[in-house]
Amino acid sequence: MTDLSASAFLELAAGRRGHFRMESGYHSALWLDLDALFAAPARVRPLVTKLAEALRPYRVDAVCGPLLGGAFLAQIVAEALSAEFWYAQPAPPSGTTGLFQARYELPPAFAGRLPNARVAIVDDVISAGSSLRATDAALRQRGAHVVAVGALLALGHVGTTHFADQGVPVEAVAHAEFEMWAPTECPHCAAGVPLESVSPSA
């Protein structure tokens, strides 16, 4: 799809610089506070509309997003596509360490609706793609077919490349370059900069 300037999205998110640990386990120097992104839906409606139109050709039965922001986005996109709205919620951690250890699960109420359904998974932002990977795994485990991934903003290439390598197309309204590092390669860790405490992100 035609790319837009990421500034249209970033103006809606409160970004700050520092040293942050993302949900994926990667470290980053940029944090986007997305909690209030959908507080005024009209602000993001033009971007959501573009995403919905990009996903329309996939003829999905349902749109699923991880709580919180991804679920809000999924609900709006599902309505635009006359599809069902599903969401995934964080599950207890596996207890192992390393990158991409986050786990998500589908509420039991969706169990009978999952087998063979064509599903698009969406999130407001995809960087490493941790929550989308976990949502994808939960859906496939229940027999759903993930046919597309969508995001309002794609940061970097780690998350989009993962899904492209799996043969799942990724539709993003905007793209921006983004630096993140494994903890052992993080220049801020090497410089002794302490990690800031934030809520989970991709």
Domain residue ranges of the chain, discontinuous segments joined by +: 7-14+34-178
pLDDT at 3 over 80: no
Q: What is the pLDDT of residue 2?
A: 38
Q: What is the pLDDT of residue 162?
A: 92
70-127 confidence digits (pLDDT tens): 999 999 999 999 999 999 999 987 767 788 888 999 998 887 787 889 999 999 999 9
Q: Specify the pTM.
A: 0.88
H-helix segments, the chain: 7-10, 41-55, 69-81, 130-141, 158-165, 187-190
Query: Would you say 113 and 87 are in contact if contact means Cβ atoms under 8 Å apart?
Result: no
Cα-based torsion angle of the residue sequence 123, 193, 190, 176 in order, rounded to the nearest 10 degrees: 30
Indicate the SS3 state at residue 193.
coil
Residue 119 or residue 178, greater confidence: 119
Residue 132 CB-half CA count within 13 A: 32
Question: What is the C-alpha to C-alpha distance for residues 13 and 9, in angstroms, rounded to an integer?
Answer: 7
Q: Please choose, from the candidates 135, 125, 152, the residue with its C-alpha nearest in 3D space to the C-alpha of residue 54.
A: 152
10-50 confidence digits (pLDDT tens): 666 667 889 999 989 999 998 887 777 777 778 888 889 99
* Range in 17-26, 106-115, 135-144, 185-194 the model is least confident about: 106-115
Cβ-Cβ contacts under 8 Å for 83 (sequence gap 6 or more): 60, 61, 62, 63, 77, 120
| CATH code, 7-14+34-178 | 3.40.50.2020
